[in-house]
A and B are shown apart, each in its own frame.
Chain A
């Protein structure tokens, strides 16, 4: 979901083998350890490709959480009740916290917060495509909690047993906090769907606009994901994109039906033989366009993050300067 596979489909996929020749004995020991469901910790030997993939995946996951604060943050000041306002503020704060846990995990691999933020702002690092879509109504907040957090949970639960210790532990923390997020979103949708005609319309519209982008969150189809095999072997990924996507559809469609909303897919049909829903084709052109940075709100999201960082530079400098002054005074005593 937050992986290295966010490339333009017209680009050649990256080669699976690393350029660095790894010590075969060390590599074999590493592979055996991972295969035995053991954990790799920060100072352990690891192949360069493993380190690079993890830095990319974990930092992109972190960036997604931070950028993800923006579409929902857009509605905190306009939440329609005190309770909804507090719950939304707490949720967005949680997302910031998740970003923090993940940045912390990535830093154990030898990168820094500054480097990661620079990569995000310069466009070298990606974030989940889903956050490039607009939250134009209050119902969109419900849809995000229900569908986007729902999809994230599906991806995150298996990652609690990912091979890299700090990442796994961050995922355990995140999963504990995540279920409240999805429930608050679903509750919003439920109330709207049972409400006045304008509210039903808002809810139905939100589902229609967030459904397909949520399915795209799981990434390209397995046949277009060349690094999947290696990621699975290294336990950086626990299930394939298509497997997770199918699970998500199977779980979510009945939820939509339970609250009287219509999933916008004319090809959606229960398949008795497979015990799963058949569903329509995803518009991969849209997906790759968004990955390229052409998503509807891509400019606004990036501008907001860059502005916050640049506007905050004098604050960070002041705090650092003050700490240095204090240090000097203490040393002089």
Chain B
């Protein structure tokens, strides 16, 4: 049995309307402790209305080595951008 406390990543929503943002991590033995540690560490100055904590081991991250395959193709697919289409000046609301 491990005696160490696992690492949890912390996400804070600063205000309603914004998304949760990653702010760092804490060690905690269980989920409730993780929430409290996250609150005491990352929201001491009223910086949040909502907290998510996720065990670091549960996070799946893209591989930076695959960045080209995953992300670059979008750069030359210009037809996803609205500016690709020319709309005459006299046509409004589009």
Contacts and interface: CB of A to CB of B under 8 A. Distances in A.
A202 B5 CA distance: 44
A217 to B, nearest CB: 25
B4 interface: yes
Interface residues of B, number: 21
Contact of B44 (A97, A104, A112, A320): A97
B31 to A, nearest CB: 9
Contacts of A177: 45
A317 B30 contact: no
A63 to B, nearest CB: 16
Dominant secondary structure of chain A at its interface with chain B? helix
A114 B41 contact: no
Interface string B42-82: 00110000000000000001011100000000000000000
Interface stretch (A39-47, A121-129, A150-158): A39-47
A43 B24 contact: no
A326 interface: yes
A114 B41 CA distance: 19
B90 interface: no
B25 A319 contact: no
Interface residues of A, number: 30
B92 interface: no
B2 A113 contact: no
A100 B26 contact: yes
B7 interface: yes
A139 interface: no
Interface string A294-328: 00000000000000000001001101111110100
A114 B44 contact: no
A107 interface: yes
Given A43-B61, A316-B5, A322 B24 contact: no
A317 B4 CA distance: 7
Interface in B5-45: 5, 7, 23-27, 29-30, 33, 41, 44-45
A94 B45 CA distance: 10
A91 to B, nearest CB: 12
A212 interface: no
A248 interface: no
A324 to B, nearest CB: 6
Contacts of B27: 113
B25 A320 contact: no
A316 B3 contact: yes
Given A43-B64, A97-B44, A326-B30, A319 B24 contact: no
B64 to A, nearest CB: 5
Contacts of A326: 30
Given A94-B44, A100-B26, A101-B41, 12 more contacts: A101-B24, A112-B4, A113-B7, A113-B27, A114-B4, A170-B24, A316-B29, A319-B33, A320-B2, A322-B30, A324-B2, A326-B30
Interface of A: 41, 43-45, 93-94, 97, 100-101, 104-105, 107, 112-114, 166, 169-170, 173, 177, 313, 316-317, 319-324, 326
5 closest A-B pairs by CB = A319-B29, A104-B25, A323-B30, A104-B24, A323-B29
